[in-house]
Chain A
Amino acid sequence: MDLWRIVLEALDSLASNKVRSALTVLGIVIGVGAVIAMLAIGTGAQNTITGSISGIGTNLLFVMRGGNDEVRNPQPLTLGDAEAMRDSFAAPSVIGVAPVLQGSAEITFAGEGDIVAAVGVTPEHESVRNIEITEGEFINEIHVLGRSAVVVLGPDVAETLFGRTESIVGESVRIEGQPFRVIGITVAKGGQGPSNEDNQILIPMSTAQTRLFRRSGSDQVDMILVQAINADGVITAEEEISAILRNRHRTAIGEDDFTTFSQQSFLQVAETITNVFTIFLGGVAGISLLVGGIGIMNIMLVSVTERTREIGLRKAVGARKRDIMLQFLAESALLSLFGGLIGIVLGWALSMLIGAISAASNADINPVVGIDAVLLATIFSAAVGLFFGLYPAKRAADLEPVEALRYE
C-alpha cells in the first residue's frame, strides 16, 4: 500500500466522525497550545530580563554597603572609596568608577509635578552606565565642583512636566522647591516599574549630597558601580576592589563590610529563575499532552472494536498485519498531528494575547514563539499519537480474520 493512499484513507476515516475526532484531538490541542504559549512566555520573560540587565552597561560590578549577617557596624561607602578604586596600580582591571546617591524627589514645572527617582552622579556615570543624551549635555566636572543646580531629565519626566521631550534644555524646573536648570535629556531605554530609568533625574553628586539627600557622613554614597576592562577582567576587578576596600575599612579577614555583585551573576540568577519557570510550566503542559495521548488511545480502541468486521474483510482480501497496523497508526498519528498543529496556532495566538495584555499593563514581556518550539511540538505530538496508537493498532493487526468477520 502506498503511503499517500494510507494517509488519504486515514483522513477519510477521521472525517467520517468529525465530532469525535475533534473532541479526541482537544486534549492534544490544549497540551500543545499550553507548551507553545509557556515556552514563548518563558523566552519572552528571559529576553526582557536579560535585556534590562544588559542595558545597565557592560562588565559592571555593583559594590554595596554591608557584608553577611555577622558583620556588625559596616562602614558606609564613600567618595573616598570610589576615588581609591580609580588607582590604576591597585586596580588595573578597573576602567570606570561611578558612585551614586539615590533617593526620590519632587520635581515641578509650571504647576505640573511628579515624585521621581533622583540620582546623584559623577561625570563618569555617563560612560559606565552607557547613558546617551538626545539634547544638551551630561553632568561634567565643573558642575560637580561647583555643586551646580543642574539636572538631566529622563524622557518620561520631560513628558510629564513639559508634554514633550525636545527643546527643553535651558528651562528651569524646581526640585524639592529649589530651582534647577535642565542641561540634558537622556535617550529612552524603555524600562518599566520602579526601576524605570526613563522616569528618573540625574544631578551632580555634590549637589545631591548638599542640597537633596543629606547622609550622616557628608562623603557617603549608596552604591559604587565599577566597570571592568573586559568580560574576563570582571573577576580580577572584583578582587582588586575588594582588597582596596578591606584595606580602607580595616576589616578582619572574612568579615567584609561590603558586598559585590557582578552583572554576570545577575544574568545567571535571572536565567536560572526563568529556566526553572519554563521547565515547570513546560512540565504542566506536558502532562496535558499525556492526558491527550491517553484520550487518543481510548478512542482508537473504540474505533478498532467498531471496525472489527472491516478489519476482517481487509484481511480476507489480503491485508497483512503490518497493513492493518499502519492504517491505524496513520489515523492516530494524524489525529495527534492535527491536534498539534491546531495547538501551535492556539499557543501562538495565546502568547500574542498575553504579549498584548502585558504591553497594555506596562510589563513588557514579548513572547517569542521559536521555530524550535514549533518543531518540537509538531514532532512531539506526532510521537504521542504514534505511541498511544501503537497498542490499539496492534490489537487490530492481531485479530484473527475469521473471528473478525464473524463479529457482530
Chain B
Amino acid sequence: MSDWVIEAEGITKVYRMGDIEVHALRGVDVRIARGEIVSIMGPSGSGKTTLMNILGCLDRPTSGSYSLDGSQVAELGDDQLAEIRNKKVGFVFQSFNLLGRQTALTNVELPMRYAGVSNDRRKRAMEALEAVGLGDRVKHRPNELSGGQQQRVAIARALVNNPSMIMADEPTGNLDSKSGVEIVQILLDLNKNLGTTLIFVTHDPEIAAHTKRVISLLDGLITEDRIVET
C-alpha cells in the first residue's frame, strides 16, 4: 500500500446554473502523502474551496478519480462518505460553524456521537479541548467565547475522532493576526505530535510560509506545486 493519503487524478467540477456551466475545476491532479502539510493558494474564485470539499468527501467530482486512504471515493455511497467525513477527515471552517446552543464540550462531542462512541465521549472531548488550550472553557457556549477560542473549539471538534487529515478552509480568515498565528500553531503541533495530514486553504502568505508545500490554483487548474525549503 502506498503512503499517499490523497491520490486525485483529472478532477473536474462543473456547476450548472440554468444554461450556464461554471467550470470550477478543470482537471486537477494531486497527491498528498501521509503527514504532509500543504497550502492551497490562489485568487478568489480559483476553485480552492471546491477542491477542498471534494478532497474532504463533502462533495463529489464531476469526473476524475479520487482515492482517499486507499479507497475509491466514487464507489462509495452516501453513508460511507459520511463515515469517511466522520472518521478520516476533520474540517475547520472560516466561520467556525459551531452549534450555537451547545457548550464547547457538546460541540466537540458531536462527531463522536455520529461515530457511535458512547463510553469515554466526555473524557475524549475534554482531552481535545485541553489539547487546544481550552480546558477551562468547556461549559461556555460559542457566544461566550472569542473568535480565536471558537476556532479552537472547532479544531478540537475536528481532531477528536483522530482523523488522518484536517482540512482548514481559511481558518484564520475571521481572526486577528495574533489569534490566527495561535490557530496555525495548534494545527502544526497536531501534525508534529500525531502526524495528522494538514491541508490549508488560504490567501495568507504568512500561513503558507509555515507549510512545506504550496499548491497554487488558477481558474480551476494547478499552476504551481512547489516544495518550500526551510
Contact = CB atoms under 8 A, between A and B. Distances in A.
Interface of A: 1-2, 5, 12-13, 16, 309-310, 312-321, 323, 400-402, 405
B99 A316 contact: no
Contacts of A313: 97, 99
Q: Nearest 4 A-B pairs (CB), nearest first?
A: A318-B86, A318-B114, A317-B111, A320-B82
A60 B99 CA distance: 73
Nearest to B99: A310
B58 A316 contact: yes
18 contacts: A1-B113, A2-B113, A16-B101, A309-B97, A310-B99, A313-B97, A313-B99, A314-B110, A315-B58, A315-B85, A316-B58, A317-B85, A317-B91, A317-B110, A317-B114, A318-B114, A320-B82, A320-B83
Contacts of B93: 405
Nearest to A312: B97
Nearest to B167: A316
Contacts of A315: 58, 82, 85
Contacts of A5: 113
Contacts of A320: 78-79, 82-83, 114
Interface centre among A1, A16, A313, A402 (most CB of B within 10 A): A313
Contacts of A400: 59
Given A2-B118, A16-B101, A402 B53 contact: yes
A402 B58 contact: yes
Nearest to A403: B59
Contacts of B85: 315-318, 401
A400 B59 CA distance: 8
Contacts of A401: 58-59, 85
Main secondary structure of the interface of A (DSSP, over half): helix
Interface residues of B, number: 25
B26 to A, nearest CB: 18
Nearest to B106: A9
B157 interface: yes
A354 to B, nearest CB: 42
Nearest to A315: B82
Contact of A402 (B59, B78, B99, B113): B59
A396 to B, nearest CB: 14
A1 B114 contact: yes
Interface string B81-101: 011011100010100010101
B227 interface: no
B216 to A, nearest CB: 23
Given A16-B101, A309-B97, A310-B99, A318 B82 contact: yes
A316 B91 contact: yes
Interface string B42-83: 000000000001001011000000000000000000110011
Contacts of A316: 56, 58, 85, 91, 97
